[in-house]
Structure 1
Amino acid sequence: MKKHIAVVLVFLSVFGFSQTKMSDAEVKSFVAKVSSENKNMQSLQSDFVQTKKMDFLNKDIVTSGKMALKTPNQLSWKYTKPYQYSVVFQNNKIYINDQGKKSSVDAKSKMFEKINKLIVGTSGGNLFNDPEFTVQYFKNGSNKIARFTPKSAQLLRYIKQVDLTFAENQTTVSQVNMLEASGDTTTITFKNTKINAAIPAEAFSL
């Protein structure tokens, strides 16, 4: 019983018990602002901290690193603490460097591409128009939250929902809360975000 109560408390703390739905007017204004201000985004860079809660572990797994996005098809996640691990998405391929061990896999299914488009969000201004997701809009204090729920059974095998939080007066994602099909949760918090700043080529190399 205690275990089940703990899982419920984690869920409520991650996805926000005090969320309320936006009105139609608020949704229209929010979507228009985010889409307009990010329509011409060419690149995005940010530091991130990722916290993963797993049912069978008593301690959260906390990692950190740097994320870089360059349109139309370059995206990298470079974990630097507590270990070195890099994932680069490029031209429908996924390149991995696991502490010196390099490999690559195909991404033709678009599964990883879609999940990562949600995580980095907003680039190109078309975030809220993906036909594979149902989107609901909430507010929590001054924060705005877009909740994406997959429509396809294929995506639901991996994720149940993804909440993208936009901090006050921000039009890029400040936090991601992902509820996985397994019941595990992943929270990614972004800081020091830069838009359309020059990105060195090594950001997308392994």
Structure 2
Amino acid sequence: MTRNLLYFLFCILPFLGIAQDRQMTPAEISAFQKSLQGLAELKTLEADFNQYKYMSFMKKPIEASGKLYIRQPDRLSWFYIAPFQYKMVFKDNKIFINDQGKKSSLNLGNNKQFEKISRLIASGIRGGRYDEKEFTVSYFKQDGLNLVKLLPKANDAKKYIKEIRLLFSKSDNQVQEVMLMEPSNDYTRFVLKNKKINTTLHDSVFNL
């Protein structure tokens, strides 16, 4: 169960397509980091997402869609709607899962790896700074957009993830796509859309 859940957690991050990337200059990195400072004021985020899972032995990606909710400081909810229903909620230092009516939970305090993943998800969506003790962080330009690449340092994380890429929107400086590259070079791409910021989120979206 632990291995499957860890794999799923990495796969829920939104993803960008592979393109030619140019490494940022120090001045560009400084300007980009400064542009993210306003995101610290983000209290809630609601968005639709589309997920595309690319596998080498398949001609077309596997597609899914759903809703994402974040409420600071420690609430995060992923709700898959199609082609199946699956909900995962991070709160109270736990992960709560509803897999088409089958409910379960996992204590994050007993698993530091999941705790790191949950922090990364929330930080990445908000465009926050990244823990350079856990990741090698580099900054690029991709077709005029800002791109952050995260390479895990821990051997246990490297078993599941080769690289995480976060692509930021020009209009609001928020993450609009994320890509997870696996050691096999299969990858998943998530695209966020219809984002709503600092609206009131009912407690029910963080319940199973």
| TM-score, normalised via structure 2 length | 0.84
Q: Report the alpha carbon displacement of residue 195 of structure 1 after superposing the two structures with TM.
A: 1.6
After the TM superposition, which parts of structure 1 deviate over 2 Å for at least 4 consecutive aligned residues?
54-59, 106-120, 125-131, 181-184
Q: Quote the Cα distance in structure 1 between the aligned partners of 2:175 and 2:155.
A: 26
Q: 1:74 to 1:110 in 2, by over 3 A?
A: farther
Partner of 1:93 in structure 2? 94
List per-residue Cα deviations over 1:55-86 (Å, max 9, x = no partner). 34443211000000111111100000111110
Unaligned runs of 5+ in 1: 1-12
Q: Quote the Cα distance in structure 1 between the aligned partners of 2:115 and 2:186.
A: 20
Q: 1:51 to 1:117 in 2, by over 3 A?
A: farther
Greater shift after overlay, 78-87 or 161-170? 161-170
Q: Report the alpha carbon displacement of residue 122 of structure 1 after superposing the two structures with TM.
A: 5.1
Question: Within 5 Å, which residues of 2 pair with 1:165-184?
Answer: 165-184=167-186
Greater shift after overlay, 112-121 or 163-172? 112-121
List per-residue Cα deviations over 1:1-54 (Å, max 9, x = no partner). xxxxxxxxxxxx9322x21111110000001111x1111221111100011112
Q: Please state whether the residue corresponding to 1:51 is helix, strand or coil.
A: strand
Q: What's the % identity of the aligned pairs?
A: 39
Unaligned runs of 5+ in 2: 1-15
Whether the aligned pair in 1 keeps the contact of 2:90 and 2:118 (CA below 8 Å) is no
Q: Which has the higher contact order (CA 8 A, sep 6+)?
A: 2
Whether the aligned pair in 1 keeps the contact of 2:120 and 2:130 (CA below 8 Å) is no
Q: Please state whether the residue corresponding to 2:162 is helix, strand or coil.
A: strand
Q: Quote the Cα distance in structure 2 between the aligned partners of 1:29 and 1:169.
A: 15
Question: Within 5 Å, which residues of 2 pair with 1:32-181?
Answer: 32-34=34-36, 36-108=37-109, 109-120=111-122, 121=124, 123=126, 126-181=128-183
Q: 1:116 to 1:51 in 2, by over 3 A?
A: farther
| TM-score, normalised via structure 1 length | 0.85
Q: Quote the Cα distance in structure 2 between the aligned partners of 1:116 and 1:128.
A: 13
Greater shift after overlay, 126-135 or 44-53? 126-135
Q: Quote the Cα distance in structure 1 between the aligned partners of 2:159 and 2:93.
A: 21
Q: Quote the Cα distance in structure 2 between the aligned partners of 1:198 and 1:37.
A: 19
Q: Quote the Cα distance in structure 2 between the aligned partners of 1:128 and 1:106.
A: 23
Q: Report the alpha carbon displacement of residue 204 of structure 1 after superposing the two structures with TM.
A: 0.6
